[in-house]
Amino acid sequence: MHLVRGGRGPAMLLVHGLLGSHSTWGGVAAALAADHEVIAPDLLGHGASDKPLGDYSMGAYAATLRDLLDELGVDEVTAVGHSLGGGVALQLAYLFPQRVRRLVLVSSGGFGREISVLLRAACLPGARWALPLLAGGWVQRPTETVAGGLSRLGLHGGPDLVEAWRGFASLADAASRRAFLATVRSVLDLGGQVVTAQDRLSRLAGVPTLIVWGDRDRVIPVEHGRLAAELVPQARLEVFAGAGHFPHLDQPERFVALLHEFMAATPADRAAPTSPQPPLSLPAGPSARPALTSDADPTPGDSGPVPPTG
């Protein structure tokens, strides 16, 4: 598993979303590494990580992250998950509660059926044959053409446009497309999201939880964030006015300041349950690393790539 890791302080695990990679966090990761140990992996099937045949469910992703933390010698983290990564962070907290001290859910999946029609289209029977054409076209078309197409599909401009373009351009090879379809179909159908956390959110009592959303998110509506804030005991909701699906990129300074404030305001000692909980249901000691480094050029003492769990 490819990752970047750096900084000194309490450990923070950054989990990107569908079609993303560690680079989805932009300058946020480096800013957080000023006073935290930041671990930002590429999930299996994404970025520079392997794209093996196998299980791409959120439970499998959570188990792989648990194995990664074991390999790195990190006992507990503040898990920060964006979009699909929010669902993975929730799954990590449910299955391995002793590993998650705090949760930060950014435009997270798992709180309702509604999701962009563009992602639901990946569940169509012919998607595997259409994706090579879509990916190739996105690489070659002018930005203005791509921007117009995304706007018609309801995507907010700015970071939403850039990250969607990068994401679909990453599907140029067959292994990436296969992993993308396997991931999408483990969490979506043509009607929307099929994995729900709603019946488990009360079990996050004792886990400090921050929910961040953009009020212009057209991938997963902000109403999901408001619902989650009602269901998670003592959760804090922050809605970024004018931001889309990537509020941490739309307003990075505000996002970093918010996380610093949240970390400072929540207890260092965890009161979360320590017994594993069932997976999400279907339908409905800090190390000294002064800078972020990639596992392609590991800092002494870093582990190598982590194999997928079976």
> Out of 2, 16, 156, 217, which one is annotated catalytic?
217
In a domain, 219, yes or no: yes
CA distances from 204 to 7, 167, 192, 214 (A): 28, 31, 25, 23
In a domain, 287, yes or no: no
> Is 144 in the same domain as 10?
no
> Is 105 in the same domain as 252?
yes
Known active-site residue 217? yes
CA distances from 114 to 62, 188, 194 (A): 23, 10, 10
> Is 222 in the same domain as 78?
yes
> Is 137 in the same domain as 18?
no
Known active-site residue 57? no
- Reduced to 3 states (helix: H, G, I; strand: E, B; else coil), residue 8 is coil
In a domain, 246, yes or no: yes
> Is 99 in the same domain as 226?
yes
> Is 138 in the same domain as 273?
no
> Is 96 in the same domain as 8?
yes
> Is 10 in the same domain as 108?
yes
In a domain, 168, yes or no: yes
> Is 199 in the same domain as 50?
yes
> Is 165 in the same domain as 38?
no
**pTM of the predicted model, to two decimals?**
0.83
Q: What is the pLDDT of residue 281?
A: 44
> Is 152 in the same domain as 260?
no
Known active-site residue 83? yes
Q: What is the pLDDT of residue 147?
A: 55
Question: Consecutive 10-residue runs of the chain (310 residues): their mean pLDDT?
Answer: 96 97 95 97 97 94 98 98 98 96 97 91 81 60 54 66 84 92 93 88 92 97 96 95 97 98 84 50 40 50 36
Q: What is the pLDDT of residue 240?
A: 99
> Is 185 in the same domain as 201?
no
Report the greatest alpha carbon distance in the chain.
Answer: 52
Element (H, E) at 121: none
* Residue numbers of the domain that contains 67: 3-114+195-280
> Out of 170, 245, 248, 295, which one is annotated catalytic?
245
